[in-house]
């Protein structure tokens, strides 16, 4: 089973939604975690956006990337364009991608669009790892 790390600057919105989708859509096929260059909190707007489609991410927590070891993962996905800021050990995993999605925390009205972009990319990632 492949281990996937989703990373964003603060692990509050995009990476949290990606973790939620991956846990739901990839259950039994991938193991997933999310983190940020710094930890913060799960954005209530991200929780609401996922609630709107029936996925509950309230139990997820915001974690710092420094709490994890790249040796424990096969895949690292940056969602915010922060990939260049990651330590090299994360960028040299079997798969590294930087999705560079818009930040809905800056514009809450785009949460539904970004949520759907995250869902599509997570679905494609799960298919790629199958």
80 included as an active-site residue? yes
How, if at all, do strands 95-98 and 2-8 pair? unpaired
82 included as an active-site residue? no
DSSP, res 101: -
CA distance linking residue 42 with residue 47, whole number of Å = 7
Q: Which of 22, 65, 80, 114 is catalytic?
A: 80
Q: Which of 5, 7, 8, 118 is catalytic?
A: 8
Instruction: Answer positive or negative: Cα dihedral of 114, 127, 63, 24.
Output: positive
121, two tokens: 């990319």
Give the Cα-Cα-Cα angle 113, 47, 28 (nearest 5 degrees).
Answer: 90
Q: Catalytic positions, please?
A: 8, 80
């Amino acid at each position: 089973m492949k281990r996937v790390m989703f990373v964003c600057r603060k692990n509050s919105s995009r990476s949290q939604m990606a973790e939620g989708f991956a846990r739901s859509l990839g259950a039994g096929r991938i193991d997933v975690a999310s983190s940020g260059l710094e930890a913060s909190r799960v954005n209530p707007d991200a929780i609401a956006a996922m609630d709107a489609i029936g996925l509950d991410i309230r139990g997820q927590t915001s974690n710092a990337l420094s709490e994890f070891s790249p040796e424990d993962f096969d895949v690292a996905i940056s969602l915010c364009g922060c990939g260049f800021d990651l330590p090299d050990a994360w960028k040299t995993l079997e798969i590294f991608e930087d999705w560079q999605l818009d930040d809905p925390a800056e514009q809450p009205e785009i949460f539904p669009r970004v949520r759907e972009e995250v869902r599509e990319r997570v679905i494609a990632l799960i298919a790629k790892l199958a």
